[in-house]
Amino acid sequence: PVLVVDFGAQYAQLIARRVREASVYSEIVPHTISAEEVAAKNPVGIILSGGPSSVYAEAAPSLDSGILDLGVPTLGICYGFQVMATQLGGEVAKTGRREYGSTAVKLEGGESSLLDGQPDEQTVWMSHGDSVARAPEGFTVLATTEDTPVAAFQNTERALYGVQWHPEVLHSEHGQALLEGFLHRAAGIPSDWTPASVIDEQVARIREQIGDAKVICGLSGGVDSAVAAALVYKAVGDQLTCVFVDHGLLRQDERRQVEEDFVDAIGVRLVTVDAREQFLTALAGITDPEEKRKTIGREFIRSFEQAEVDLIKEAQESGERIRFLVQGTLYPDVVESGGGTGTANIKSHHNVGGLPEDMQFELVEPLRTLFKDEVRAVGRELGVPEPIVARQPFPGPGLGIRIIGEVTQERLDLLREADAIVRQELTAAGLDTEIWQCPVVLLADVRSVGVQGDGRTYGHPIVLRPVSSEDAMTADWTRLPYDLLARISNRITNEVDDVNRVVLDVTSKPPGTIEWE
C-alpha cells in the first residue's frame, strides 16, 4: 500500500481518497507508527499529511525519524513537509505571516517527477503559519511563493519530496497531477487498484474466512449492505442468506427494489420479515423523538434477531451452523474508531429464547477498506441495480422520524406519496448527485387553512429539507431552482390528499440537524 501518515485534522482521509482515485491502494496510519511497523507493511510509497500543529509547538506530533531512512519514496504535505525539513536538518521559520487560502506559487523549472508538465505559475491552496526557510542538504527547491522561499523540494536520490501546499484539495489547480506524479513517476507505482481488483481480492478473503460455513446478512435497502451482500454472494453463493425487515417506514418502491430488482440482479437468497403491523403497534401513541427512535431501534433488533433465530434453527435441523454475520462497515468508520487490523470482531447475542446464551457470530466486513464512492463503484461492477447503488443517505428509523407527531398508517401513506414526488422531481431535474439528501417531513399535528377548488381546506404542511453536505456533520440548505420548487409544490398539493401547503426549510446545520427528529 501507500501509507498516509495522519498528523491530525481531516486531511489524511482526503489524501487517501485522492491516492485511490489514481487507482493506487492507500491506508491511513497514525503518526505514532514506528519505522519497523511501517517496514512491516511493505509500503510502496509514504505520504506525510498536513496537520493543525506547528512543528515548534509543545507536544507537536512527530515522526519516527527511521521512517525517512527506509528508502521508500516519501512525499510530505504541509505539516508533513515541515516535519521532513526539520528532521533532515533544514530550517523551519516562524514567518509571522500566515498564508491561508488561495496562493500563487512559482515553479523553479527544474526537472521534477512531481511538477513536470505543469504551468510555471499556478494557484494552490495553502494553510500554514510556519514555513521552510532553508531546504535540507541535498535537496533542490522546486517552487516558491511571495512569502515562502521554499514551497516545494525534492531529493531524487533518496526519493524524498515535499510541498507546502495541499495538492489533495480541489482548490489546488494541479493537485491531482502532482499526486499522480509522485505515485506513478517518482515512486513508479502502477494503477492497479480498480473495482475489479477489489472484488477479486475481497472474494478470495471472504472465501478464506468463511470456508464452507453459513452466513447471514441484513439488507437495509441502502448501498452498503447491498454491496456487502453482493460481494459475499459472489464469494460463497448459497451459503449466504439475506434478511430484510420491512418495518413499514420505508419509502415508495424500496421493498420492491430489494426483493425483486436486487435479488434478480444478484441471485441471492432473501428472507423478508413483514414487521409492519408490529412496528405500528409499538409506535402507537408515541410522539417524543427519542422515544420513537428507541422504539424503532428496539423493534428492529427484535425482528432481525427473530429472523436470525429461525434461520439458525433451520440450519441446525439440517446439521449445519451459521457462524458468520455480514456487516457493511466502511473505511472511515474503521479509521475513526482508531484503525485496527480488523480482528476480534464478534457480535454476541443474548435475546430471544431457544438459543444458547453465548450464541456468537463472527463478523464478515468486506467493505472495511473502502470509501463510499468505492463501494458504489464496486457495486456497479457487481451489477447491483443503480437505484440502490446511487441511493442517498436515508436514516435507519426511516419515515418514522419524518412524521412530526404520532406515526400512523394513514400518515405514512401520505408522506410516502409526497416523498416519492419530491424524489421524482429532483431526479428529473438532474440534481441527485448535487444534493446530499432531501428529507421530506410531515407536520402531522399542524393544520393550516387553505382554499382548493371552491372549498376551504384545513390540511397539513409538508416541509422540504434539501441539503448540501460533504459528510453530514455540517450542511447548508440547497438553493433549489424556484421553478423546480414550484413544480414540487404544485404536484404535492394537487396529488396528496390532506396536504394544502409546502414549505422550505432554509436552516443550515448547525444549528438545525438535517432530520427534524
Instruction: Work out how close the CB of 384 gets to ligand XMP at its nearest, in angstroms, rounded to a whole number.
Output: 19
Residue with cell 408490529: 278
Site map for ligand XMP, 241-280, x if CB under 6 A? ----------------------------------------
Count, residues near ligand XMP per rule CB under 6 A: 10
Residue 303 annotated in ligand binding: no
Residue 61 · residue 31 · CB < 8 Å: yes
Q: Which stretch binds ligand XMP (CB under 6 A): 206-214, 253-261, 394-402, 457-465?
A: 394-402
Q: Count the Cβ atoms, other than its own, within 10 Å of residue 23.
A: 17
Binders of ligand XMP among 454-473, rule CB under 6 A?
A: 472
Residue 273 annotated in ligand binding: no
Dihedrals φ, ψ of 130, to 5°? Answer: -75, 165
514 binds ligand XMP (CB under 6 A): yes
432 binds ligand XMP (CB under 6 A): no
Residue 223 annotated in ligand binding: yes
CA torsion 287→247→381→372, rounded to 10°? 20
Three-state SS at 155: strand
Q: Which stretch binds ligand XMP (CB under 6 A): 20-28, 126-134, 228-236, 391-399?
A: 391-399
Three-state SS at 404: strand
423 binds ligand XMP (CB under 6 A): no
| Residues acting as catalytic residues | 78, 166, 168
Taking the least distance from each CB to ligand XMP, the nearer of 498 and 515 is: 515
Contact with ligand XMP (CB under 6 A): which of 289, 332, 396, 405?
396
Taking the least distance from each CB to ligand XMP, the nearer of 36 and 471 is: 471
Nearest to 453 by CA among 492, 487, 494, 485: 494
Nearest to 204 by CA among 165, 231, 172, 169: 231
Q: Which stretch binds ligand XMP (CB under 6 A): 194-202, 277-285, 382-390, 393-401?
A: 393-401
Residue 508 annotated in ligand binding: no
Instruction: Work out how close the CB of 395 gets to ligand XMP at its nearest, in angstroms, rounded to a whole number.
Output: 3
Residue 224 annotated in ligand binding: yes
Cell of 191: 494503477
> Quick one: how far is CA 509 from the chain centroid?
18
CA 150 – CA 163 distance, rounded (Å): 9
Binders of ligand XMP among 333-362, rule CB under 6 A?
A: none
Helices (H), 318-404: 331-336, 372-382, 386-389
Q: Tell me how many degrees the CA angle 325-327-330 measures, rounded to the nearest 5.
A: 155
Cell of 197: 481488483
Contact with ligand XMP (CB under 6 A): which of 167, 397, 459, 461?
397
CA 455 – CA 359 distance, rounded (Å): 62
Contact with ligand XMP (CB under 6 A): which of 294, 393, 490, 494?
393
Cell of 8: 491530525
Residue 71 annotated in ligand binding: no
Interface with ligand XMP by CB under 6 A: which residues?
393, 395-397, 437, 472, 509, 513-515
- Which residues sit in the known binding site for ATP? 220-226
